[in-house]
Structure 1
Amino acid sequence: MTTRPVSPWRRWLPLAVLLLLPLALLLGGDNLAGSGWRWLLGGGEAMSPVDYLVLTELRLPRLLAALLIGAALGTAGCLLQRLTHNPLASPGLLGLNQGAALGLVCLLISPLPFTLWHACLAALGGAALAMVLVFGVVRLATGRLAADSLLLFGALLSTLLGGLGTMLLLLDQHALDVIRFWLAGSLSLVVPAQLPPLAALVFPALLLALLCGRPLEILETGGDTARSLGLNPVLVLLAVSAVVLLLTAASVAVSGPILFVGLVVPHMARFWLGERLHRQLIGSMVLGAGLLAAADGLVLAVDEQDRLPPGMALALLGVPWFLWLVRRRYLER
């Protein structure tokens, strides 16, 4: 695999995204934004008790959740794109998000308690079922994991699973009232108690993703080469798939199926940091975290009643850039 030199500004630009995070925390109402800045610059006594409570109990947990979920989805998308050799692969396009959402719908209408750990297990089971169906059906039908076939069947499966989840919710009006805003992909329902379990799932998965980087790069050179170096291609495939499932399930269990992060962030990381996978993984973590936090802050700034999902802001921020990137790569060819 060839690599191209990376200029210093491209190395440091992802870290500059982190400068937007205080804005994501403090944006919202004008009063809260002003008192938030005064609190950061001059101490907690400058903030009213109500604003302090909103900042520490609502905005700060929401910001931390956005960082964790953005890093998880960006990393999952990066691994999927390298695993399938498909630049359009992402948890959303391959049906993993909808599978995880269906698992949560089944949990909600069941008599089991709806805790975060139960939600993660349900989302993990649904996402795993979706991945097995996508990869299994495409492999049985075509004899190989072709990129276009994966995308086509992933889109069909997403529609099927989404329709099945909607049908189940229509049979239970209470469940529909509880989950419909979450299904749009939102961080407004995040509470502080969700952060420790979320971090306990995401941080080890991110570490495992970094550990999978080198074996996955070797696997990209071919199965025979990987075997000659002592790697088992099946084990690498299973390990990477397990990491993707864990990252996706943990994210969807807290925020619902947020689209677009797993699709566009790996391209941004590749553009800024080059083709080496370990750089792309680190870049996807940083950029995914910063992008989702900034998008959520933009949503709070535009709509103080918090009715808009951050996915809409992500589309506004990312679609023009993504179209420009596609056009640039097309012209380079």
Structure 2
Amino acid sequence: MSITQEGGAPRADTEPPISRVNRTHRPTLLAAAALVLLLLVLVLASLLIGTGSSPAGRAWDFLLGDPTARADAQIRLAVLDVRLPRTVAAVLVGIALGASGCLLQAVTRNPLAETGLLGVNSGAALGVVTGLTYFGVDSPYAMLLWALAGGMAASAVVLLLAASGRTAGSPLRLVLAGSALGATFHGLTSYVLLSTQSTFDTYRYWTIGSLAGIKTSDTYPLMPLIAVGLVIAFCCTRPLAALALGDDSARSLGHHPGRIRLVVAAAVTLLAGSAVALAGPVAFLGLLAPYAARTVSGPRIASQLALSALVAANVMIVADLLARVVIRPWETPVSVLLAFIGGPLLIWIARSDKLSTAGASA
């Protein structure tokens, strides 16, 4: 490419295309590096800080391999059996909710969309209540499996409903099907809870959304599901970028809009269903993280997706750390803290003149 100098003589463009691309992506790369570094610092802080009486200094000595700290059963229990599992869970839940929120906002072209639109939360709640009431579920791990099964079953029904008819796979069909099924499942859940007091007592603890009591073994079944969801998500970035130009433009580029939306909805189901099963219904995180990512990345879907996952993971660990220390030695549910933060931010975003759309570029 060349431009004309004064006097009509052509002048070669001194900036190569690769340099322009690097300059365009530099803010995103810097933000991603900063978020990764912050995440590592927060993971370390999460291993050092807890609700109990174990001092952070002793936990630091344990991590450094000090023999006396390693021999301390209380420190070992606090770091390896309590703090490490919930730290891993916070990272997984954050990544899953951030990525699924970004996907859902992109596929529906609605910057205020969140994962509850596909019925995942209501399906997971009905799954937990069904397991507690009719199958005698009495362990956190079994509740996790029932929540995961319920969330995925609800999303499967939504996908089947959205895939039928002349407007198969359209954003409106997805949202309407998810909202209708979510309301139905919520009614069924309320009916079962009102008729069984013991189920309500257990369900009430799960539905507040918390990382307390999570074991390392609880995260193992969900890691492959989250990994598959992320792989599908990143494979859909180019089709989503085309879809942001409009259905007709996407078809002209060789894509199938209905098929894209259904595949993305399946990825959202894997990610959001795993997160809800692990931590319960956690509101606002899947909505706010993509908005924060877009302020840095712009309309590029792949960048939005990566930054959303990192932002949500950082916010989730910060919320979990605050949950441990706000009313020590007791603990505040993570979802409560996120609601206090997310509610006012959502109002500000909705009133802001800079409310961006979920558009994308190739």
Native 8 Å contact 1:187 1:255 kept in 2: yes
- Alpha-carbon distance change, 322 to 45 in structure 1, aligned in 2, over 3 angstroms: farther
> What is the TM-score when the length of structure 1 is the normalising length?
0.84
Change (3 A) 1:140 1:45: farther
Q: Name stretches of at least 5 consecutive residues in structure 2 with no aligned partner.
A: 1-20, 358-362
1:311 to 328, 335, 338: 335
Superposition pairs of residues 98-117 of structure 1, within 5 angstroms: 98-111=122-135, 114=142, 116-117=144-145
Q: Cα distance 1:89–1:136, how it changes in 2: closer, same or farther (>3 A)?
A: farther
- Please say which of residues 167-176 and 197-206 is displaced more in the overlay: 167-176
> Which residue, out of 78, 95, 99, partners 2:102?
78
Q: Does 1:89 align with 2:117?
A: no
- 2:55 is equivalent to residue 36 of structure 1: no
Relative to structure 1, is the Cα distance of residues 331 and 165 closer, same or farther in structure 2, using a 3 angstrom cutoff? closer
Alpha-carbon distance change, 195 to 96 in structure 1, aligned in 2, over 3 angstroms: closer
Q: 1:123 aligns with which of 131, 136, 151?
A: 151
Residues 107 and 136 of structure 1, relative CA distance in 2, 3 Å threshold:
farther
Contact 1:6 1:272 in 2 (8 A): no
Query: Structure 1 residues 315-324 or 223-232, which shifts more?
Result: 315-324
How far apart, CA to CA, are the structure 1 residues paired with 2:184 and 2:150?
A: 18
Q: 1:12 is matched with which residue: 33, 56, 68?
A: 33
The CA distance in 2 between the partners of 1:154 and 1:229, in whole Å, is 29
Query: Which structure carries more relative contact order (alpha carbon 8 Å, separation 6+)?
Result: 1
Asked if the contact 2:94/2:309 (under 8 Å) is kept, the reply is: yes
Greater fraction helix: 1
Tell whether 2:208 aligns with 1:189. no
Q: CA deviation at 1:249?
A: 1.4
State the Cα distance separating 1:210 from its structure 2 match: 0.8
- The CA distance in 2 between the partners of 1:211 and 1:235, in whole Å, is 13
Residues 1:51 and 2:88 aligned together = no
Q: Matched residues in 1 for 2:45 and 2:348: separation? A: 26
Q: CA deviation at 1:191?
A: 1.5
* 1:56–1:299 CA distance, 2 compared to 1 (3 A): same
Q: Tell me by how many angstroms 1:131 deviates.
A: 6.2
2:196 is aligned to 172
Q: Alignment partner of 2:236: what SS?
A: helix
CA contact (8 A) 1:185 1:255 kept: yes
Q: Which of 280, 296, 303 pairs up with 1:256?
A: 280
Query: After superposition, what is the alpha-carbon deviation per residue over 1:252-301, rounded to whole angstroms, capped at 9, x for unaligned?
Result: 22211111111101011111222200011111111111211111111011
Contact 1:269 1:283 in 2 (8 A): yes
Higher Cα Rg: structure 1 or 2?
2
CA RMSD in angstroms comes to 3.3
- Structure 1 stretches lacking a partner, 5+ long: none
Contact 2:49/2:56 (8 A) holds in 1: yes
- The alignment status of 1:64 with 2:93, answered yes or no, reads no
How much does 1:212 deviate? 1.2
**What is the CA-CA distance between 1:41 and the residue it aligns to?**
4.2
Question: How far did residue 307 of structure 1 move?
Answer: 4.2
The match for 2:44 is: 22
SS at match of 1:31: coil
Q: Could you tell me how far 1:145 is from its partner in structure 2?
A: 4.1
Query: TM-score when scaled to structure 2?
Result: 0.78
CA distance in structure 2 between the partners assigned to 1:156 and 1:308 by the alignment? 32
How far apart, CA to CA, are the structure 1 residues paired with 2:99 and 2:87?
18
The Cα shift of 1:87 comes to 0.8
The residue type paired with residue 249 of structure 2 is: T
State the number of aligned residues.
326
**Is the 1:202–1:250 contact (alpha carbons within 8 Å) kept by the matching residues of 2?**
yes
Determine if contact 1:96/1:128 at 8 Å carries over to the other structure.
no
Distance 1:227-1:91 versus aligned 2 partners, 3 A rule: same
Secondary structure of the structure 1 residue equivalent to 2:54 = helix
Alpha carbons of structure 1 residues 7 and 325: separation in structure 2 relative to 1, 3 Å: farther
Query: Which stretch shows the higher mean deviation, 191-200 or 311-320?
Result: 311-320
Moved more, 161-170 or 205-214: 161-170
